[in-house]
Amino acid sequence: KWLATTGDGAKTAADRISFIVETLDKLKPQLTQIGEKLALAKSKINTIDPTRYPLEYKGILIRSQMTKGLNLLDQASSLVNDAKPMLEAAPYLLGKDKPRKYLLLFQNEAELRPTGGFLTGYAVIEVNKGKISTLQSDDIYKLDEKFPKRIPAPDPIKKYHPNVPYWYLRDQNLSPDFRSSMDTFMKNYELTGSPKVDGVIAVTTKVLVDLLKVTGRIGVPGFGNFSAENDPRCNCPSAFYELQLLAGSEEPVVWDSVSGKIVKAPANYGNRKMFLGPVMYSVLANVMAQPKAKFPELFNTILAVIAEKQVMMYFFDEKTQSAVEAFNMAGRVREVPENEDYLMVVDTNFSGGKTNIWVRYEASQNIEISSDGSVIKTLTLNYTNPQEGSVKIESGRRLNGLFRDWLRVYVPIGSELLESKGFEMGEAKGEDLGKTVFEGFFTLAPLNVKSITLKYKLPFKINSPYKMLVQKQGGAKDFIYKTKINGKNQPEFILNADTEHAFVY
């Protein structure tokens, strides 16, 4: 009943899914041919050295335009060739040979955590020949109730997340590397007695909002209407506000430190997030039943939420896991070649509020390269919360408030911290995931600004072009990055995906 035909007489959603499953194999040879031609073009174009050409000629930026063109060709070649493993894995993912079960994790990016958001709810879904059914949908706190272990909270939670004595499942996505977080989470999920699954699919609420921008307003039986339109009650998408209404009160759950049992909970505890599965299912059904004219827009939207890391996947089957990693859907913290710069900013909201709806930062990189190629960088992150703190839902629960952020900045391993400003506590340097990490803690009140500055020296020397990979945190907004090299402004960019740069200076 969910997958009805569209008004223009297009195929039913179920028919479309079956068609996709049956024709995937036909796409692979064509994609292979395109990939081979792009790879050949890339190999020839890569012999061009932009530094042999003038910076500009008659007002035209020659060298930077050539570098940009080379990067675009590299990205196109990578996209097509990286899609091949995903096509090969698609029959497995869609349950062509036998039904597959997946754990669907809902990440609330309004309460940003390292992999994309607070793990607010979950569902167990089954995919059989492309057809999806929901087996279970519940609040993450109910899953924690089934978790038999009491793991002492790790240091960041002890220091920055008060009154949380244990490391609950809902907080076990502390690594920004999605696979690393899920390696921990899934070992403990298996102890809850929940259904066994073949993998994990994590989605943020932004996926719902972006799909609604294409489909328009939809109704979910028993739960109301949802749209992507701005809601003046919160200056945020209407769908997000409606989800907060359904979630109701978020009064604290009090756990006995000895027995681990709940001694106090809000009246609606245990039923708050059961709507997430049906809502997402209805949206997907509407997406698949859209008129053909909307397919290009839907395709671009899906690619965008994947690039933005609003969707991430994890699988026990290594071949399938390798496929999603090749397509950059696995949320991995990537390695870079020697003598290439790296940057990833990771925010962890320990306030319990939904402040990341409004909080954003602007990054400024001031890079000084000496004559011998040694590099000193000054990274400044200017955080703002432009929204009043009085925003609340009808139950009286406030959505905005004090932003309490555990900030980590990942840079090339061996980098030397020279100076830092702006942290209120917890300033430290360490290593994680093959990177050096500068970290600390700060707070930001509504209608306020906070600036964090890190000055550090890279462990290697660099020549033009200055190559750098900037990775985007899962679930994070699209932030502005400004770069200056030896006093000269470089093209600014919006960090809406992992981005590779080759700045000519």
Give the other-Cβ count within 10 Å of 256's Cβ.
10
The answer to which of 15-29, 135-149, 320-334, 354-368 has the lowest mean pLDDT is 15-29
Q: What is the DSSP letter of 73?
A: H
> pLDDT tens digit string along 318-357?
999 999 998 899 999 999 998 999 999 999 999 978 999 9
Angle between helices 205-215 and 295-307 (to 10 degrees): 160
The answer, yes or no, to whether residue 10 has pLDDT greater than 70, is: no
Which of the two residues, 35 and 241, has the higher pLDDT score?
241
Which of the two residues, 397 and 145, has the higher pLDDT score?
145
Spatial CA neighbour of 243 closest among 215, 288, 206, 270: 206
> pLDDT tens digit string along 244-297?
877 654 455 565 656 656 666 554 455 555 666 677 777 777 887 788 788 878
DSSP string, 198-223: SEEEEEEHHHHHHHHHHH--EEETTT
The answer, yes or no, to whether residue 486 has pLDDT greater than 50, is: yes
Spatial CA neighbour of 240 closest among 119, 391, 110, 386: 110
Spatial CA neighbour of 94 closest among 130, 125, 118: 130
pLDDT of amino acid 131: 84
Specify the pTM: 0.83
**Token pair recorded at residue 151:** 């793991």
Question: For the CA atoms of the chain, what is the radius of gyration?
Answer: 24
Residue with token string 């994947």: 306
Q: Rounded distance, CA 332 to CA 70, Å?
A: 25
Which of the two residues, 246 and 144, has the higher pLDDT score?
144
The answer, yes or no, to whether residue 222 has pLDDT greater than 90, is: no
The answer, yes or no, to whether residue 1 has pLDDT greater than 50, is: no
pLDDT of amino acid 264: 61
Residue pair 347/109 in contact (Cβ under 8 Å)? The answer is no
Give CA separation, 147 vs 144, 161, 282, 300, 333, in Å.
5, 20, 30, 39, 28
> pLDDT tens digit string along 306-320?
999 999 999 999 999
The answer, yes or no, to whether residue 194 has pLDDT greater than 60, is: yes
The answer, yes or no, to whether residue 483 has pLDDT greater than 90, is: yes
Which of the two residues, 176 and 10, has the higher pLDDT score?
176
The answer, yes or no, to whether residue 444 has pLDDT greater than 80, is: yes
pLDDT of amino acid 58: 77
DSSP string, 299-316: HHHHHHHHHTTSEEEEES
pLDDT of amino acid 63: 76
Mean pLDDT of 198-222: 91
Which of the two residues, 482 and 268, has the higher pLDDT score?
482
Mean pLDDT of 141-164: 93
Mean pLDDT of 75-103: 79
Q: In a 3-state reduction of DSSP, which class is residue 454? A: strand
pLDDT of amino acid 19: 61
pLDDT of amino acid 312: 97
Mean pLDDT of 218-245: 86
For the four alpha carbons of 294, 299, 301 and 302, in that order, the dihedral sign comes to positive
Continuous segment of H or E residues that includes residue 328: none
Mean pLDDT of 362-370: 98
Amino acid type, 459:
P
Average pLDDT, the chain: 85
The answer, yes or no, to whether residue 7 has pLDDT greater than 50, is: no
Which of the two residues, 5 and 459, has the higher pLDDT score?
459
pLDDT of amino acid 55: 81
Spatial CA neighbour of 458 closest among 422, 485, 476, 481: 485
The answer, yes or no, to whether residue 4 has pLDDT greater than 50, is: no
The answer, yes or no, to whether residue 220 has pLDDT greater than 50, is: yes
Residue pair 326/82 in contact (Cβ under 8 Å)? The answer is yes
pLDDT of amino acid 103: 97
> pLDDT tens digit string along 31-74?
666 666 666 776 777 677 777 778 877 778 887 777 766 665 66
Q: How confident is the model at residue 76 (pLDDT cuts 50, 70, 90)?
A: low
> pLDDT tens digit string along 206-217?
999 999 999 899
pLDDT of amino acid 3: 36
